[in-house]
Amino acid sequence: MAKPLEPLFRELEELRLELEGRPAFLVFLAFLSGCGLIPSGGWSLLAIVPLFFAFRKQILFWMAGLILGTVLSPPPVARIQEKSSYSGLVTVSSVPSLVRDSLSAVVATPSGEKLRTTFPAAMVVSRGDVFQVKGEKIALSPGAFAVEEAAGRLRLTGGVKLIREGPAFWRWATLTRQSFVDFVRRSDPQDRQMLAAALCFNVTSGLEPHFYEDLRRTGTVHIVSTSGLHVMVAAGFLTLLLLPLPIKPEFKIGILAGLLALYAAAAGFRPPIVRAALMSLLFVGAYLFRRQSDGLTTLSVASLIYLILFPRTIQDLGFWLSIFAVGSLVLFVPSARALSNMTWREKFWQTVKTSLVVSLATAPLTAWSFGEASLIGFVINLVVVPLVDLAIVVSLGAWMISWVLPNLGSFVYQGLALPLLWLIEFVINGGSRFPLASVSVSYFSLFWLIPFVVGAFLLWRPRDRSL
């Protein structure tokens, strides 16, 4: 063995040991490889080779992951090509999301076929509801839903009749979201964008197309769509509210779990949101029980749970974006203890570094999906993310106040939340005007992510972590 390489091998061995101590992460890796087994025609098994050589001791763990992944990997959806009429029952199988002036949801026919459909906005539609419908099945609009779980679209032509209401939980979630949207509308009737509703509950129906473009150019789309950031913030907020209560930690975590589940459901129950809720729960649980939580393990466990429950999520871009964002955080952001020992100056630079790291980590995937990479994303995020955090907490707080004192709630919203929301819009608007705010990136193979991720792991300093 050549001498100059010896230190490298020693370091790689250290890294190997660190990963070996995180079986959940190995299970997660093997699970992914298992999921890819059939679609890739067996090629994804190659991913197991490094696992085999590096982590022979943990063979049982990752074999379990591999088998689980293979068994659970979602079969490909047979897409509808021909138009046909449909009349019968459908069950709403996703949380309906508000789009422009209708409600978009995936419904399942009794034969199990999933179709995307839109209901009139005035209707109250919740997951699990059963409707009698009449309409025609048509193909998905091309390119619109690359990872759509539905086989096609269902265009409703006749009347829609509610046959049976779904579980109360989903109805509560719908009403929770509606209550917030109503609160925002009541507090500021002029506000058509309803940015607060977008930030807190993923209600993006009011957002103007040009604002979306501004978000893309400044690398901040995640604040209104995919990251689950708002769930993390809300979880922290709820935990702070729960902490002083004189009850056992088990109850606290139970209450928090219930509230977070309702919140995730109200916010659309999209994969990143649910994953964020699970992760928050694991973090808070570790904190309440005074256990050290390891970021990488937490991320792996939360993602695994979610993938086992909803395997098709593995094709969801938002899910992967959130994994890359949170993954970079748990790998490269020092622990809370290390942070508290820093001077203000060091803290500032650490924040800059964090924003840069997250922007870099998510850049390849956003570039792949939007064909665009934001150059100023990390600067804008640096300013916007704390503002968004604050705006979420203030808006949710004002809404909660309004349950008891409606006028005070609106007053707090107008006085505290609105200026924050204006500031957020102002920064995003201004940032997008830079001529070089973003550059276009051509289509590339996702195999480029392999050296990218492996390189990132080599840059990881395990001793610095322990969140």
Binding site for other proteins (CB under 8 A): 4-5, 7-8, 11-12, 15, 142-144, 209-210, 213, 216, 363-364, 367-368, 370-373, 433, 435, 439-444, 448-452, 454-460
Residue number with CB closer to other proteins (405 or 454): 454
List the one residue out of 86, 12, 117, 121 whose CA is nearest residue 460: 12
Residue number with CB closer to other proteins (75 or 142): 142
Tokens of 299: 């991320």
DSSP 341: T
CB 62 within 8 A of CB 51: yes
User: Taking the chain, what is the end-to-end CA distance rounded to the nearest angstrom?
Assistant: 37
CA dihedral defined by 238, 244, 250, 254, rounded to 10 degrees?
-30
User: Three-state DSSP class for 136?
Assistant: strand
Q: Are strands 130-138 and 161-164 parallel, antiparallel or unpaired?
A: antiparallel
CB 30 within 8 A of CB 63: yes
Residue number with CB closer to other proteins (169 or 370): 370
Residue number with CB closer to other proteins (81 or 87): 81
Name the minimum Å distance from CB 10 to other proteins.
9
Residue number with CB closer to other proteins (173 or 367): 367
Please give the Cα distance from 293 to 416 (Å, whole number): 34
Name the minimum Å distance from CB 145 to other proteins.
11
CB 99 within 8 A of CB 205: yes
Name the minimum Å distance from CB 141 to other proteins.
9
Name the minimum Å distance from CB 1 to other proteins.
13
Residue number with CB closer to other proteins (198 or 367): 367
Please give the Cα distance from 95 to 265 (Å, whole number): 7
CB 308 within 8 A of CB 271: no
Distances from the Cα of 82 to the Cα of 76, 79, 140, 254, angstroms: 18, 9, 11, 48
Name the minimum Å distance from CB 159 to other proteins.
28
Please give the Cα distance from 339 to 333 (Å, whole number): 9
User: Which residues, at least 6 apart from 390, have a Cβ–Cβ distance to it below 8 Å?
Assistant: 420
Name the minimum Å distance from CB 298 to other proteins.
23
Name the minimum Å distance from CB 41 to other proteins.
24
Q: Are strands 84-92 and 102-108 parallel, antiparallel or unpaired?
A: antiparallel
Residue number with CB closer to other proteins (76 or 451): 451
Name the minimum Å distance from CB 162 to other proteins.
33
Residue number with CB closer to other proteins (221 or 234): 221
